[in-house]
Amino acid sequence: MKQHKKFLTRKNGFICAFLAPGILLFFIIYAYPLINIFVTSFCKWNYKNFQAPEFLGWSHMFDNYIKIFTSDANFKMALINTMKWVVLTLVIQVPFTLIVALILSKKPRGWKITRNVFIIPNIISTAAIGLIFLNIYNPSRGIVTEIMNQIRPGSNISILANEKYAFWGVTFAFIFFGGSLCILLLTQIFSIDQSLFEAAKVDGANAWHIDTKIVLPLMRPMIGTVAVMAVNYALLLYNEIALITGGGPDNATFSLSYYIYRTALGSTKLNFARGNTAGVIQFILGIVLVGLINKAFRTNEAD
């Protein structure tokens, strides 16, 4: 009995020793910055004059949150745009990617080439994507400008300089690039027991019935996971905006991530407290969205 207890003690010691570096790194890299962001969102912190965070006081501790919603037009624009992109990923990107995966799962002629081509935008840098779309939207020689001039001769519409079109210019720079999501869905489809398909065909089921009655129900958890990944990308959207529009025109394409950067680091004010306040709101929004998606797709439930 004593030897058994000694063995368990030694085993627990080894486990703790192996876990300690990972736990330490987690607290240094993730936990401490997250706690710091929450704490300083209740402070006055303008780093322009190298001031330390100053607590606003218990009676005014929520002033940063009140002001950011009531008197900051850029934040409102960033929040609205971000929520639009979240909805668009759920309405356009996820269904489009799912349809592509279902088609490729039938292994039509050239399906491997199509799969590889579809994933190319996900394996090259966003900087390259940004340069590609800057050329596509170029007001003097871009293909989109040429198409717009053919539709409306002499209009000379510049996509990125027009508030009405700039939002959609950023949207089309990422909304159809779901190659990595498609691979996940395709892998899930290929992992389904083929005997289910054979039995359904024997019973007279066609491809539509098989997809809607067998494939999609069995893929529900993976579709939920893909939806979470897509929404997370939209919620944290930054690179496309920084590279293509720079938040313009007139801050019309601000996202929450770009707003945080511009508020905390991208201007002369260096308002860390306001930027961290927006970061906390973004974090809470992400938790809520992930929870709603998991509940909608019941990803935690066993089939």
Percentage of residues of the chain with pLDDT beyond 90:
33
In this predicted model, what pLDDT tens digit does every residue of 99-151 receive, in sequence order? 999 999 888 888 888 888 888 888 888 888 888 888 888 877 778 878 777 77
153 CB burial (10 A radius; 0-12, 13-18, 19+): exposed
Q: What is the pLDDT of residue 92?
A: 95
Q: What is the pLDDT of residue 118?
A: 85
Reported confidence tier of residue 265, pLDDT bands at 50, 70, 90: confident
Number of structural domains in the chain? 1
Reported confidence tier of residue 15, pLDDT bands at 50, 70, 90: confident
pLDDT beyond 60 at 82: yes
In this predicted model, what pLDDT tens digit does every residue of 138-169 receive, in sequence order? 877 778 878 777 777 766 778 888 888 899 99
Q: pTM for this one?
A: 0.88
- Examine residue 81 and state whether it is found in any structural domain, yes or no: yes
Reported confidence tier of residue 48, pLDDT bands at 50, 70, 90: low
Mean pLDDT computed over 282-287: 94
- Examine residue 24 and state whether it is found in any structural domain, yes or no: no
pLDDT beyond 90 at 267: no
- Examine residue 13 and state whether it is found in any structural domain, yes or no: no
3-state secondary structure the chain: CHHHHHHHHHHHHHHHHHHHHHHHHHHHHHHHHHHHHHHHCCEECEHHHCCCCEECCCCCCCHHHHHHHHCCHHHHHHHHHHHHHHHHHHHHHHHHHHHHHHHHHCCCCCHHHHHHHHHHHHHCCHHHHHHHHHHHCCCCCCHHHHHHHHHCCCCCCCHHHCHHHHHHHHHCCCCCCCHHHHHHHHHHHHCCCHHHHHHHHHCCCCHHHHHHHHHHHHCHHHHHHHHHHHHHHHHCCCHHHHHHCCCCCCCCCCCHHHHHHHHHCCCCCCEHHHHHHHHHHHHHHHHHHHHHHHHHHCCCCCC
- Examine residue 154 and state whether it is found in any structural domain, yes or no: yes
Least confident of 48-52, 71-75, 182-186, 197-201: 48-52
Percentage of residues of the chain with pLDDT beyond 70:
92
- Examine residue 22 and state whether it is found in any structural domain, yes or no: no
Reported confidence tier of residue 237, pLDDT bands at 50, 70, 90: very high
Q: Which domain holds residue 74?
A: 41-297
Mean pLDDT computed over 174-191: 90
CATH for 56: 1.10.3720.10
pLDDT beyond 90 at 282: yes
Mean pLDDT score of the chain? 86
| Cα angle for residues 167, 170, 176 (degrees, 5° grid) | 120
- Examine residue 171 and state whether it is found in any structural domain, yes or no: yes
Reported confidence tier of residue 228, pLDDT bands at 50, 70, 90: very high
Determine contact, residues 208/102, Cβ cutoff 8 Å.
no
pLDDT beyond 70 at 234: yes
- Examine residue 134 and state whether it is found in any structural domain, yes or no: yes
Tokens of 99: 């349809």
What residue type is 219 in one-letter code? M
pLDDT beyond 80 at 14: no
The span from the CA of 179 to the CA of 97, in Å, is 8
The length of the chain is 303
- Examine residue 11 and state whether it is found in any structural domain, yes or no: no
Residue 272 Cα distances to 7, 53, 235, 253, 265, angstroms: 51, 9, 20, 21, 8
